[in-house]
Structure 1
């Protein structure tokens, strides 16, 4: 059984998935600087206890336990997330983006055998004036610590899960003298950790090499200067100053879950989740296609703001859309889910949102003091969470490789 350190732990998605894969989490850190009450950490402690848990700014975490085999984390992504436009993304220079350097500091000290990170796929394209720069700096700096790195943009629904949650998985393996790794093509398609865990069907575009031999500060100032298309595609491998990347498609699961599979019976749904008929018109408008003339406040220039049509209601026969942090609350929204059952239209409950990510029912219902967490906050947790089943699958492959090394 390998030992795990979990950074940016949230309510414990990585820990649950890795426990199912045979790992033991011996250290965790969760800190939200924007709030006085540490809701996510409180839920984490309620579920796992206080032993080995740190609820403080990661910059204050001086070191990790000495026996860490795997370092994991879904590091904060507000600077890259689709919650903001790419032009407003701040990337590594942003307030939360600098937390990458805290991860790197702990990696430098501890040098775990494996690292498993998760982020929004926009990371590969950030920032807008140097697309791909942030990811290039991450590859370079982590590689300089003695790691080879794989990445893959993963849509959970393509591997059988009931949510179309798209994230980039980054897996790093500590270099070992004399170890033969194979060609980049074979690693990306067959022998790599991500290729074995989440098989690819075919290569859509040919392999491209990206030279990253410069120092990180020069890469930061010069990489893809001018804002052209990011050279990083949805699959890739980094070793010794060179990134190899191509576009691949997933080998689809033979069986898949859909939104309808996670629903609670209507008899269990609280009244506040049912949408009144008088509010349906507002929901329909927000979900519909629209073209609106607007005026820029600064320049006075008029422009056309357009939105495409979204499904109304959300189809129960398909995987759900990605859960966002604003999923909670009764206010109609373009981005919240709304479904129709035989008894009418309603929003998704916290339990249904937990199921879409693979959490046990009511996982986030209580904090460490036994106090019930608000439904809006529980929805926020799930918008920040990950699909646990994917973590379990990747965790099993990393565990297999750890046993071989030991």
Structure 2
């Protein structure tokens, strides 16, 4: 079988590509990474440092170059969770309302222009519930857009630690496939529960209990025919998994069959064995006093501790903001928490551990953060500022999850190859 041609959008430092290459059998024939808010394109530079500089690696605004994309079978990308609303213009045409949502529509431009057989997207799990004033509207718009383009969609919220990885990182993965594929033909014959629990895209690699959650019942809904009506009026409380076929949506709260995760302590030990002791700069500095008169240790204890703070809303209404306490330092016997872009700084979300060798408190090193996302150590080292290395890992995905999905995509792709051979073709015309 020929390698599956891949186009990668919003590539960051290359997590999707690395995962697919680890699976084997994929050829990334075109990629795009562009950070509009800065002249320094550190993520793109990291990408070409690891994968090579090539004319197919494009560092420009996707809105300007999407028509240059090469033919591909699989489109992948982790895109921003923003505003996907649509509206009808004065002339009655459908348009975009909310400029920040334009990147999703660039994805759909490519989907309609190139009609890739498969699309694999990643996003934060709150996408399923946004916006707060019209729950599920944004995701419903996405499902409707794929329906109108001739695709079925399956989604699953996956916590990487549930399937053996070292980080409790929850993300929604969205797999869309054209109705013309053999996989779609086979899926159309299956019951919704059978798809989500056994024979869909996710279940073979990310196994779940036989029965869904009793707390959140399964739901079936039909999307309105007009995407503007979806944007204006439709809302839905989506579960952590579901499918959409011909505008009919089935969603269920699945319970993962968990594997023992790698622990934070194992990550720390791995990096120590590979690179030796962590640099002194990552340890807490008790010599500095901040503007609040606290040492770094005192500040972190306060930030991570429980608190109740009186605040005043814009309306003048007073209310109490409550925040629960967090483990401090982070236990090495558990997988890491979800990394954010602020990792490595003095704030509530940063990991702080007791170094097992020095017994002193410190932040995670960039290499430990890379390993929490299943990247090789020093992946982001060349030419990238320390703060940006943390930022990129806060935005990255867990590479091993993509590798597992890549194995499943190869199985699905092979269904079409076998179909063509059955019809008497010596060489599949689709390749």
Q: TM-score higher than 0.5 here?
A: yes
SS of residue paired to 2:31:
strand
SS of residue paired to 1:269:
coil
* Shift of residue 73, structure 1, vs aligned partner: 0.2
Aligned match for 2:229, one of 191, 209, 218: 218
TM-score of the aligned structures, taking structure 2 as reference length? 0.85
Instruction: Indicate conservation of the 8 Å contact 1:64/1:106, yes or no.
Output: no
* Shift of residue 279, structure 1, vs aligned partner: 2.3
Pairing of 1:160-239 with structure 2 (within 5 A) = 160-176=164-180, 179-181=185-187, 182-201=190-209, 202-204=211-213, 205-224=216-235, 230-239=236-245
Cα separation, 2, equivalents of 1:6 and 1:134:
22
* Shift of residue 306, structure 1, vs aligned partner: 1.1
Tell me: CA distance 1:188–1:283, structure 2 relative to 1, closer, same or farther (3 Å).
Answer: same
* Shift of residue 267, structure 1, vs aligned partner: 5.3
Number of the residue aligned with 2:402? 391
Cα separation, 1, equivalents of 2:207 and 2:72:
28
SS of residue paired to 1:325:
coil
TM-score of the aligned structures, taking structure 1 as reference length? 0.90
Number of the residue aligned with 2:29? 26
Cα separation, 2, equivalents of 1:213 and 1:61:
32
SS of residue paired to 1:154:
strand
Unpaired runs of 5+ residues, structure 2, are 85-95, 287-294, 418-431
* Shift of residue 60, structure 1, vs aligned partner: 0.8
Aligned match for 1:379, one of 375, 384, 390: 390
Given the alignment of the two structures, is residue 8 of structure 1 paired with residue 10 of structure 2, yes or no? yes
Cα separation, 1, equivalents of 2:406 and 2:245:
22
Instruction: Indicate conservation of the 8 Å contact 2:284/2:361, yes or no.
Output: yes
Instruction: Indicate conservation of the 8 Å contact 2:344/2:351, yes or no.
Output: no
Number of the residue aligned with 1:355? 371
Q: Deviations over 1:336-386 (max 9, x none)?
A: 1100124200000000000000111100111xxxxx311110000000000
Instruction: Indicate conservation of the 8 Å contact 2:9/2:31, yes or no.
Output: yes
SS of residue paired to 2:76:
strand
Q: Which moved more, 1:261-270 or 1:120-129?
A: 261-270
Number of the residue aligned with 1:137? 141
* Shift of residue 300, structure 1, vs aligned partner: 2.4
Cα separation, 2, equivalents of 1:220 and 1:206:
25
SS of residue paired to 2:80:
coil
Aligned match for 1:346, one of 351, 362, 367: 362
| Alignment coverage as a number of residue pairs | 381
* Shift of residue 335, structure 1, vs aligned partner: 0.8
* Shift of residue 65, structure 1, vs aligned partner: 4.4
Q: Deviations over 1:80-120 (max 9, x none)?
A: 9xxxxxxxxxxx85443221110000000111111100000
Tell me: CA distance 1:281–1:78, structure 2 relative to 1, closer, same or farther (3 Å).
Answer: farther
Cα separation, 1, equivalents of 2:83 and 2:170:
17
* Shift of residue 237, structure 1, vs aligned partner: 0.2
Instruction: Indicate conservation of the 8 Å contact 1:328/1:375, yes or no.
Output: no
Instruction: Indicate conservation of the 8 Å contact 1:287/1:312, yes or no.
Output: yes
SS of residue paired to 2:101:
coil
Tell me: CA distance 1:39–1:171, structure 2 relative to 1, closer, same or farther (3 Å).
Answer: same
Give me the CA root mean square deviation: 1.7
Aligned match for 2:263, one of 241, 258, 278: 258
Pairing of 1:59-208 with structure 2 (within 5 A) = 59-63=63-67, 65-77=69-81, 93-176=97-180, 179-181=185-187, 182-201=190-209, 202-204=211-213, 205-208=216-219
Cα separation, 1, equivalents of 2:339 and 2:296:
22
Q: Which has the larger radius of gyration?
A: 2
Cα separation, 2, equivalents of 1:167 and 1:213:
27
Instruction: Indicate conservation of the 8 Å contact 1:213/1:242, yes or no.
Output: no
Cα separation, 2, equivalents of 1:30 and 1:174:
26
Unpaired runs of 5+ residues, structure 1, are 81-91, 225-229, 367-371
Q: Deviations over 1:245-278 (max 9, x none)?
A: 011111111x320111111339521111111344
SS of residue paired to 2:157:
strand
Cα separation, 2, equivalents of 1:60 and 1:279:
45
Instruction: Indicate conservation of the 8 Å contact 1:212/1:241, yes or no.
Output: yes
Instruction: Indicate conservation of the 8 Å contact 2:66/2:106, yes or no.
Output: no
Number of the residue aligned with 2:282? 273
Tell me: CA distance 1:300–1:313, structure 2 relative to 1, closer, same or farther (3 Å).
Answer: same
Cα separation, 1, equivalents of 2:347 and 2:132:
27
Q: Deviations over 1:126-150 (max 9, x none)?
A: 0011100000000011111111100
